[in-house]
Amino acid sequence: MSSISETRGNGGEIHQTGDEALTTNHGVPISDNQNSLKAGARGPTLLEDYVLREKIFHFDHERIPERIVHARGSGAHGYFECTAPIPELTRAGVLANPGKTPVFVRFSTVAGGAGSVDTPRDVRGFAVKFYTQEGNWDLVGNNIPVFFIQDAIKFPDLIHSVKMESDRGYPQAASAHDTFWDFVSLMPESMHMIMWAMSDRGIPRSLRMIEGFGVHTFRLVNAEGKSTFVKFHWKPKLGLQSQVWNEAVKTAGANQDYHRQDLWEAIDSGDFPEWELGIQTFDAEWAAKQPYDVLDATKLIPEEDIPVRIVGRMVLDRNPDNFFAETEQVAFLPTNIVPGIDFSDDPLLQGRLFSYLDTQKSRLGTTNFHQIPVNAPKCPMHNFQRDGMMQMAVPKGRANYEPNSLDQAGEEPGPRASDQGFATYKDMTDLGNQPDEKLRVRAELFGDHYSQARMFYRSQTEVEQGHIADAITFELSKVGLGHVIQRVLGHLRVIDEDLAETVAEGLAEDLPDAATPMREPIDMALSDALSIMKQAKHSLNGRKVGILIGDGGDQAKVDALRDAVEAEGGTVTLIAKERGKAEAQLAGSPSVLFDAVALVISADDAAKLAKFKPAVDFVSDAFAHLKAIGADDVSAKLLAAAGVQPDKGVTKLDPAAFVEAAAQRFYDREAKVW
């Protein structure tokens, strides 16, 4: 009986590249990685085949427990450059001295699992690991500056409510369901965060176009021991940009990895994403005068009250070499801070200080997770921790305790504490947080749950207010508990009466009585910094343009458009019905993947494409999603088939006019349903 002992190519050759010998995990060379060891050609596999057993064993354990939240993430390497040192505020070298510090950044959605999509309505995690010369500093935040809850004891309840419902296992990566809205309707402190999550911030165009926030109030401590309170902000160089809801839904269908691919391709092409790091700083005297508590994570400090001071910039310039080893295994810890940075008594932050360390041990399987390269500090590390699962270091000598006097016997005594090391700021009374009682209470100012929610909503443009109303209406339409809908409407009446009426009308619900606030809200000054549209950057830098071409299109116009778009920092993809005629196939490249589109086709092409559904959808979706469309009169049949009428944002194929239009969206097209 014949048998086959090797896997060969069509010409009989064995394909192999590279000079490295294939080995087991322990370095033993492998002679055959294609066939298991059997008792005869058709006999059973033998237990002694250690190559097979090791390979299958490793495969069986390739997946680690996914993160409870922030499971779906994308990461990149880069550097932080301190451009405006603040030694008067902190002794942390990363902020006190000019220079560059390596970083690893992970962006993520919150609610969905690792296999969910990139574009649901959700908060985005924004976590930065600074590999400083004084140890790792992890600034763990979100793209929204406030949070749902004030105290970490409520975090498990929040996450249980927003995750898939436990009896049915759905919906995945969505907040539009009973248990989430039941929970937040019973937690008025969530109302400010609801305004942000239901705004366009919840459906960003790109991870390169989101802000980042440290959320909590931290402390900076200078060399003299003086403390200053601080809020951290990341400002994207490309500005803020979001999708519209219908576009986000269709993007998920067209490319579930849309944000991940966008980030990877931008870095791979040298179009490095960049953010500025800004700070808001203040003292206890200023904090005491505010109508909210600065330790309340459901509140923000308006930028009009304390402008954001830029102290540095962050550039992401290298993609991970291995997604699992880096993006998946990176472990962020709010407890990773360096001398010169300290915590405040924010009760949400205090709970996170415990949770993250415990989570990493469970997820990565060992207390030695800090030795994984992406987590390891790039400065010297010395302590007396020993042993444990997967210990990679080989400490020498017997000094694994302190104090010791082994140096008197000529032995290495190990490291010692330094007077320049981290020390917690001692004064707990600067914000009136007297430590002489142990109480399960919240400070009085924590009881104002509506003032900042009202400020946020009323600071938006009319278009953005309409999007918030639409989002809440959509989400509540998925809630089957009528009393929950009524309770939410009661909260909305306290925030803004017009908002409540619009949502109630969209749901065909009667307006209930307004909720009874624990503390009467006030009308705070409005803030333009809270609106995406009021601070929009009309630019093609970092944006993508799709040009649909046909058999009779004018190549000179294609070239002119490409040159004009690329001169403004954008990228161009040529699209055709048949893949071989362009860079992308029309059926697989819907307009949701681009920021603007152009039609460089002939009249005959237009007539044919008007009968091709993907072409009609390409144009109609671009129009519905408020994007610029470049087209000449010869495209009339396709435009008509797509329901596009002459309108602002539909331009001729003049490069200058198209580039100007493509740098923005045309919200006056949007149906006013609110």
Q: Cite the active site residues.
A: 70, 142
- Structural tokens at position 183: 């929970």
Q: How many CA atoms lie within 13 A of 303 on its CB side?
A: 19
Q: Which residues contact 83 (CB under 8 A, 6 or more apart)?
A: 98, 310, 311, 312, 313
Strand stretches in 558-668, DSSP E: 571-576, 584-585, 596-600, 628-631, 650-651
Q: How many CA atoms lie within 13 A of 424 on its CB side?
A: 7
Single out the residue of 140, 263, 139 nearest to residue 204, CA to CA.
Answer: 263
- Beta strands 571-576 and 544-549 are parallel
CA–CA gap between residue 358 and residue 141 (Å, rounded): 18
| 118 membership: H or E segment, kind and range | none
Q: Long-range pairs for 11-20 at CB < 8 Å and ≥24 separation?
A: none
CA–CA gap between residue 348 and residue 334 (Å, rounded): 11
The gap from C-alpha 390 to its chain's centroid, in whole angstroms, comes to: 31
> For 342, which DSSP code?
E
User: Residue 548, class by beta-carbon neighbours within 10 Å (0-12 exposed, 13-18 middle, 19+ buried)?
Assistant: buried
CA–CA gap between residue 527 and residue 304 (Å, rounded): 7
Contact call for residues 547 and 558 (beta carbons, < 8 A): yes
CA–CA gap between residue 305 and residue 192 (Å, rounded): 18
Q: How many CA atoms lie within 13 A of 81 on its CB side?
A: 8
* φ, ψ at 506 (rounded to 5°): -65, -25
* φ, ψ at 10 (rounded to 5°): -60, -30
> For 307, which DSSP code?
P
Apex 401 CA angle, 399 and 402, nearest 5: 110
| 313 membership: H or E segment, kind and range | strand 309-318
- Structural tokens at position 510: 């009667």
Contact call for residues 291 and 210 (beta carbons, < 8 A): no
CA–CA gap between residue 490 and residue 600 (Å, rounded): 52
**Residue that has been written with the tokens 């996914």 in this structure:** 66
Question: Percentage helix, strand, coil, to 5, in the chain?
Answer: 35, 15, 50
CA–CA gap between residue 395 and residue 381 (Å, rounded): 12
* φ, ψ at 204 (rounded to 5°): -70, 150
CA–CA gap between residue 223 and residue 339 (Å, rounded): 10
Q: For residue 268, count other CB atoms closer than 10 A to its CB.
A: 10
CA–CA gap between residue 246 and residue 172 (Å, rounded): 18
The sign one gets for the Cα dihedral 252, 255, 260, 263 is negative
> For 420, which DSSP code?
T
